[in-house]
Amino acid sequence: MDDETIYRKNWNDLIRYATVLVGPGDAEDVVSTVVLRILARGHLADLDGPRAYLFRSVLNECKTRLRRRRSHVSIAEAGGVVVDDTQPHIMQAVLDLPPQQRAATYLVYWASLTVTETADLMGIHPGTVKRYLHLARRTLRGVLDER
């Protein structure tokens, strides 16, 4: 597969993923930055597992941007892009999760990936994904119990 095919095949998924992590205002910029950075060093086609590499790179770029921004994505920024049928307080609780927990939650529950597939995309062990999901569920349960 050539670079353009890899890019086109994964672009929508990467944009949705970045949107969950940093909001729609920065999502395309994050994905473009990641792809350009990779292409400056070589070819997407030369990577072992280009899809997983792209997802890990997007997560890392999002974490960098969030550190710089030092704030969370608000429900207003997300604008219902992720899921339209989620109640706003639940969506805000998901957006307030740390980036790794938010990424795992999105990939498993909204993108319907398995824990193993999520681990591959995030570049971590399946046990770590399970831990992130456990922490996210605990946080979300606390938010929902407060209502």
Give pLDDT tens digits for 63-102. 998 888 764 555 444 444 444 455 677 778 888 899 999 9
Query: How high is the pLDDT of residue 52?
Result: 94
Between 82 and 125, the higher pLDDT residue: 125
The crossing angle, in degrees rounded to 10, of helices 3-22 and 50-69 is 30
Long-range contacts of 102-106 (CB under 8 A, 24+ apart): 102/20, 102/21, 102/136, 103/17, 103/20, 103/21, 103/59, 103/62, 103/132, 104/129, 104/132, 104/133, 104/136, 105/132, 105/133, 105/136, 106/16, 106/17, 106/20, 106/21, 106/82
Cα first-last separation, the chain: 50
pLDDT for residue 132 = 96
**Which of 66, 53, 52 minimizes the C-alpha distance to 102?**
66
Q: Would you say residue 142 has pLDDT above 60?
A: yes
Residue (of 44, 20, 45) closest to 30 by Cα position? 20
Give me the mean pLDDT over the 40-53 stretch.
Answer: 93
Inform me whether the pLDDT recorded for 10 exceeds 90: yes
pLDDT at 85: 53
Mean pLDDT of 18-24: 90
Q: What percent of the chain has pLDDT over 70?
A: 87
Whole-model pTM: value is 0.75
CATH architecture of the domain with residue range 3-146:
Up-down Bundle (1.20)
Tokens 């605990």 map to which residue? 138
